[in-house]
Amino acid sequence: MRYFRLTPLSPLIARDSRPFGAGQGNRVRSMDWISPSVIAGAVRTAVWKEKDTLTPEQLKTIEVHGAFPIADEQIYFPRPLDALIRKVEKETGIADILRIRPMARGEGLGVPMPHESLVPSAPVEMPEEDFKPERSDDFWSLEAMAKWLGCEEDQRVLMRIDGLPAPVKEDRTNVTILPESGAAEDTKLFTTTGLDFVRRPRDGESKGRLSQMRIGVRVNFGDYTLLAGRFLVPLGGERRLAETVESGDQDKFWKAPDALNVRSGKGLRMVLATPALFAKGWLPGWLREEHGNLTGTIPGSGVSVRLVSAVVGRWKPLSGWSYERGRNGPKALRRMVPAGSVYFFEVLEGGAELSTLWLRSVCDSAQDGRDGFGLALWGLWSGRESARCF
């Protein structure tokens, strides 16, 4: 494994799948964060540029995992969707969080569930009065995440998230100037939106010390270790560049924190750190119906589980442009389960190997895993007293 940090040298364009080009649209939009396949493609293309005899099949064996923001020597993960933030104290940064947990069987919200063995999830200790949840930061620090995942309780909690907002979007309007006339060419006006990776100071915070947000990536080159410790790669749309520097001591960012002991629990929470692709949409393909329940073995482990509930965000589009020989052109659109989605499991058997699952892919296809999709973080839950089914 080698660990890299990417520093964008210009705002990066992480395009969504809307069309752009002559006659198709004059606006390039950007998603909030880069999808894993963009980084995987960039790293593999960089390897191919060094050794162009490698075939697409060989290049696809290179595992590229990420990408996570790194700022001020901390790694961040997408906000878990089982946290409902009621309020964040501006001065102290302490957030009042309600935990979203599976409801008791029969206590449902009166809506049909995708499978009869599943129960809906809802916030515990929901206050009587209405409130609008705070969006809060898009990313949580590893420390906050470990604290959140390691806690089995379902009660309301006051904690510091120490979060990081997503990169700010920057719009640019571009024209083509004709060398013959020095004036703008007719119909050649378009706008692009990019992500600015300078860390945004919070409201009212001094810009006295600006810092750079970087992108953390883990690469397993397998048989094709070619890249130097520092190189430049074009990343995302419009060939914006990112400086890629190898960092030897990043291993700690990619390991489950020692404080987090997920072996003991009977209830297991799976949080997607990168968007996932499953054959059955939101439902992992390794879960099958058995005796009226959705059960299966977590990939790469002997842990057998039953799905109890899931908190899944709205799907995100995934497309792209393939540079693969013979397949050059736009890729088919796929739907991703967004990062931050949480699955609640009941452990049926095993559980000792869980620490090895940290940031491993849970996607159905091994290739999607090598492309960096579906990297999971693991935590505990026990749920409401009445909801306990074990």
232 binds another protein (CB under 8 A): yes
Decide whether 199 or 269 has the Cβ nearer to another protein. Answer: 199
- Specify the stretch interacting with another protein by CB under 8 A; choose among 109-117, 191-199, 259-267, 278-286: 191-199
d(CA 256, CA 75): 12
Residue with tokens 């569930």: 113
- Specify the stretch interacting with another protein by CB under 8 A; choose among 81-89, 214-222, 238-246, 268-276: 238-246
- Nearest Cα neighbor of 39 from 274, 341, 340, 336 is 274
Query: What residues between 3 and 42 interact with another protein by CB under 8 A?
Result: 9-11, 21-23
3-state helix, strand, coil in the chain (%, to 5): 10, 40, 50
Residue 305: CB minimum distance to another protein, A: 43
d(CA 379, CA 140): 15
**Given 200, 334, 335, 360, the residue binding another protein (CB under 8 A):** 200
d(CA 128, CA 213): 40
**Given 221, 231, 282, 358, the residue binding another protein (CB under 8 A):** 231
199 binds another protein (CB under 8 A): yes
Residue 143: CB minimum distance to another protein, A: 25
CA distances from 255 to 30, 218, 287 (A): 30, 12, 26
Other CB atoms within a 10 A radius of the CB of residue 359 amount to 19
Query: Can you name the residues that pair with 190 across neighbouring β-strands?
Result: 174
**Given 112, 204, 326, 329, the residue binding another protein (CB under 8 A):** 329
208 binds another protein (CB under 8 A): yes
Cα angle, residue 148 at apex, residues 143 and 150 outer, rounded to 5°: 95
Decide whether 181 or 264 has the Cβ nearer to another protein. Answer: 181
**Given 1, 27, 50, 220, the residue binding another protein (CB under 8 A):** 50
What are the start-end ranges of the E strands in 247-313? 267-272, 288-290, 293-297, 304-311
Please tell me whether residue 291 adopts helix, strand or coil conformation.
coil
Residues forming the site for another protein (CB under 8 A): 9-11, 21-23, 46, 49-50, 168-170, 172-174, 176-177, 179-180, 182, 196, 198-200, 206-212, 226, 228, 230-232, 234, 238-241, 243, 328-329
